[in-house]
A and B are shown apart, each in its own frame.
Chain A
Amino acid sequence: AQKVTQAQTEISVVEKEDVTLDCVYETRDTTYYLFWYKQPPSGELVFLIRRNSFDEQNEISGRYSWNFQKSTSSFNFTITASQVVDSAVYFCALSETIDSGGSNYKLTFGKGTLLTVNP
Chain B
Amino acid sequence: DTEVTQTPKHLVMGMTNKKSLKCEQHMGHRAMYWYKQKAKKPPELMFVYSYEKLSINESVPSRFSPECPNSSLLNLHLHALQPEDSALYLCASSQDTGTGLIYEQYFGPGTRLTVT
Complex CA–CA separation, A91 to B97 (angstroms): 25
Q: How far is the CA of A42 from the CA of B112 in the complex (A)?
A: 11
Report the separation of the CA atoms of residues A103 and B56 in the bound assembly, to the nearest whole angstrom.
12
Q: What's the minimum C-beta distance from A8 to chain B, rounded to whole angstroms?
A: 14
A50 at the interface (CB under 8 A from B): yes
By CB atoms of chain B within 10 A, which of A31, A35, A43, A111 has the most? A43
Interface size class of B (residues with CB under 8 A): 20 to 34
Mask: chain B, 83-116; 1 = CB below 8 Å from A; 0 = not = 0000010101000111110111111111010000
Q: A residues engaging B (CB < 8 A)?
A: 31, 33, 35, 37, 42-47, 50, 52, 91, 95, 97-99, 101-107, 109-112
Residue pairs across A and B with Cβ atoms less than 8 A apart, 11 shown, are: A44-B109, A44-B110, A46-B107, A47-B104, A91-B43, A98-B55, A101-B100, A104-B48, A105-B102, A106-B56, A110-B42
Given A47-B106, A52-B102, A97-B102, 11 other A-B contacts at CB below 8 A? A47-B104, A47-B105, A98-B56, A102-B98, A102-B102, A103-B97, A103-B99, A104-B48, A106-B45, A107-B105, A111-B42
